[in-house]
Amino acid sequence: MANIKYAPPPTIEAFIQDYLPGELFSTYILGAVGSGKTTGLFFKLVYMAGLQAKSPIDGMRRSRCVIVRNTMPQLRDTTITSWNYWFKDPQAGVWKASENKFILRFNDVECEVLFRPLDTADDVARVLSLEVTFAILDEFVQIDKAIVDALSARCGRYPPAIDGGATNWGMWGASNPGNEDNWWHDKLEENLPESWAYYKQPSGFDPDAENIENLPGKENYYPSLAAGKSEHWIKQFIEVCWGFSMDGTPVLKTFQGAIHVSKRPLRYDPYLPLVAGLDPGLAGSALIFGQMDNAGRLSVLSELTQAGYGIDRLCAEVLKPHLRLKYPNLREFFVAPDPAAVGRSNGDERSVLDALRKNKVPFKFADMNNSLSSRMQAIEYFSSRLTPAGPALIIDPMCKVLIRALQTGWRYRIKRDEEQTLEPEKNKWSHPADGFGYLCKWFANMDPEYSRAAKKRITMGATAPNYHAR
């Protein structure tokens, strides 16, 4: 161990040193291929093993760690190979091949390092019956939530109390990004627990890209690696962006986050009408708020998405407080709802419009055509044009649900016979996308050129007068 020289890149160094003393902790890092993530996993173990308290019996700092990978070939060909590069038998400890175990020894530290695949149910059962101090997840996006939850309960069970017990314990992992459908995306990007830490390394194309000095070709490594690869692959494995599921195609092809998402928070204009596209429903509802300026640019300013709210509760507990806090001193506000709101709601005998009237929330319809094609035409009217002020569509970066919906979540489902369905999949992303569609329809219909063209396109449904709350 005395001969090992390791200088971690900045993000990995912060990852290594991040833990909660005396508590279960979880720390995860995403990075590009070749960014040094796996090596960082190992040296975090060196760091954490050195922090264990000494045994009152012989003064040794004892710990046990299990390193898991999805399959035995991956574990053998990548994880163990990387481990053996840094920690050689017998200089850094003793390798016991029959047990897939390395006894790591340096100074007063002794750490049992177990390497385990998750190929079969028997493998999983053996991993989840271990008593360890730490658990390491190599390519964690490939590991199921149930295994992660169960494995966390095995941490901190070694060493025994007679040896002083575990004085710090937990789990950490490294990975390339997975798909946005993966449960890890929601956990890390949207619902990070207080005891978890999450790090992302810079893109391989970034001037601050990490581990470049150890890659073949140095600065030319990532540009040459990208040659011939798809845009999806490059974004996921070089630019460190979460990917999208390949089992369906996005509904909106004209949305580009780099163009349509603002780099800074947007400001509302109290002198312009504020409109909220509403997709109501007890299972899931969405309100998407926006304004259109004199240049014809639609600014999406905020979003409200929720499940389990009837329209009365939605108005009283969500909409009205949001308006007071986010949009004080507005001259005009109204809701542009789904035309189906004229029917009865699922919760009682009143329609959504009845509930809006009761709560004194004004509403107007762009028209009574609720077809997907009419919404898509309005959305694409904004997402495919430039105005003198810039893109005709600009979205506040805090509208994370809508942004993700437009990127990948709002999609067509592919059937088993590999044919694409004619309607988007009904999921949690379809509600904000539909609310966005009603918002776009309202403002698109304010443009005389769009309205004239729309009249020629619409062959079903009739344009109706606006309905107003009384």
- What are the backbone angles phi and psi of residue 19, rounded to the nearest 5°? -160, 170
- Whether 224 is in a domain gets the answer no
Q: Which of 180, 214, 248 corresponds to the end of one domain? A: 214
Same domain, 201 and 261: no
392 with 297, same domain? yes
End residue of a domain, out of 214, 236, 267 = 214
Last-in-domain residue among 214, 242, 270: 214
What total number of domains does the chain contain?
2
Considering the domain architecture, whether residues 194 and 283 belong to the same structural domain is answered as no
CA distances (Å), origin 106, targets 3, 12, 341, 420:
11, 22, 70, 58
Domain shared by 290 and 405, yes or no: yes
pLDDT (0 to 100) of residue 258: 85
Q: Is residue 40 part of a domain?
A: yes
Which ranges of 79-229 does DSSP label H, i.e. alpha helix? 81-86, 121-127, 145-152, 183-185, 221-226
Structural domain that includes position 29: 10-214
pTM: 0.68
Q: Establish if 320 belongs to a structural domain.
A: yes
Same domain, yes or no, for 273 and 191? no
CA distance 189 to 202: 16
Distance CA 174, CA 429 (A): 28
* 299: its two tokens: 């600014």
Cβ–Cβ under 8 Å, residues 181 and 245: yes
Q: What CATH number does the domain containing 332 carry? A: 3.30.420.280
- Cβ proximity of 128 and 59 under 8 Å: no
pLDDT in tens, the chain (470 residues): 657 889 999 999 999 999 999 999 999 999 999 999 999 999 999 999 999 999 999 999 999 999 999 999 999 999 999 999 999 999 999 999 999 999 999 999 999 999 999 988 888 998 999 999 999 999 999 999 999 999 999 999 999 999 889 999 999 999 999 987 789 998 999 889 999 999 999 999 999 999 999 999 999 999 999 999 888 789 899 999 987 665 567 888 899 888 999 999 999 999 999 999 999 887 788 999 999 998 899 999 999 998 888 888 999 999 999 999 999 999 999 999 988 877 655 455 468 888 899 999 999 987 888 888 889 999 999 999 998 889 999 999 999 999 989 987 888 876 655 555 567 888 888 999 999 999 999 999 887 666 555 554 443 333 333 333 32
Does one domain contain both 209 and 298?
Answer: no
User: Do 309 and 172 share a domain, yes or no?
Assistant: no
In a domain, 222, yes or no: no
Q: State how far the Cα of 215 lies from the Cα of 225, in Å rounded to an integer.
A: 11
Q: How far is CA 211 from CA 12, 65, 181, 389, 443, in A?
A: 10, 26, 29, 41, 49
Assess whether 22 and 144 both reside in one domain: yes
Residue 173 lies in a domain: yes
Question: Collapsing DSSP states into helix, strand and coil, what is residue 286?
Answer: strand
Q: Is residue 209 located within the same domain as residue 340?
A: no
Is residue 470 situated within a structural domain? no
CATH label of the domain that carries residue 131? 3.40.50.300
Structure tokens at 133: 């101090």
Look at residue 50 and tell me if it is in a domain: yes
Cis peptide before 90 (omega within 30 of 0): yes
Q: What is the DSSP letter of 443?
A: H
The pLDDT assigned to 466 comes to 35
Residues 283 and 155 in one domain: no
Q: Are residues 89 and 180 in the same domain?
A: yes
Other C-beta atoms lying within 10 Å of the C-beta of residue 169 = 26
**100, 130 Cβ separation under 8 angstroms:** no
- Tell whether 274 and 146 lie within a shared domain: no
Residue 225 lies in a domain: no
What whole-number distance in Å separates Cα of residue 49 and Cα of residue 179? 33
